[in-house]
Amino acid sequence: MKKTAIVIGALLIVAVFFAAVYPAFAGSAQKKLVRLKLINKSDVVVNLQLTGDDFYYLTVPANTTKTFTVNKGLYGRSTWACGASASGTLDISSQVKLNFIPCERFAPNQGEPTQEKVSLYDSPTNIMWRYQDE
């Protein structure tokens, strides 16, 4: 009887230990969320597909701004707007704003890192830009 009580007590101590420690480990394994803001200044719908560890298909109506919450990561991306499509990568290692300009225009400048102006005809190509074409 004493051995049974000792075994039950030991199991109870182990169970309490894991109940206290497990949430800390489980929390560190969760993905980090960030905002992805899509500003569509064109008169057509913009579609953005992100593929990687996660999958997102984001749609922004004409002349609308939408903010999405996504997991951090480096994504392969496909973009459809203005009767054209483009593919490449999107680095979402922190909050990003993508400003899709009107279809008939080129961006007068590329904006600044993490607040980038996007034209499917001339997107930034420098390493500091998050939205990259292939």
Same domain, 10 and 42: no
Q: Is 99 helix (H, G, I), strand (E, B) or coil?
A: strand
For the stretch 35-50, what's the b/e string if a residue is b when 16 or more beta carbons lie within 10 angstroms of its beta carbon? ebbbbbbbebebebbb
Provide the domain limits for residue 4: 1-30
Q: Where are the alpha helices (DSSP H) in the chain?
A: 2-29
Instruction: Look up tokens 């054209």; give the residue.
Output: 84
| Tens place of pLDDT per residue across the chain (134 aa) | 666 656 565 555 655 555 555 555 555 457 899 999 999 999 999 999 999 999 999 999 999 999 999 999 999 999 999 999 989 999 999 999 999 989 887 776 677 767 888 877 665 555 566 777 77
Same domain, 23 and 83: no
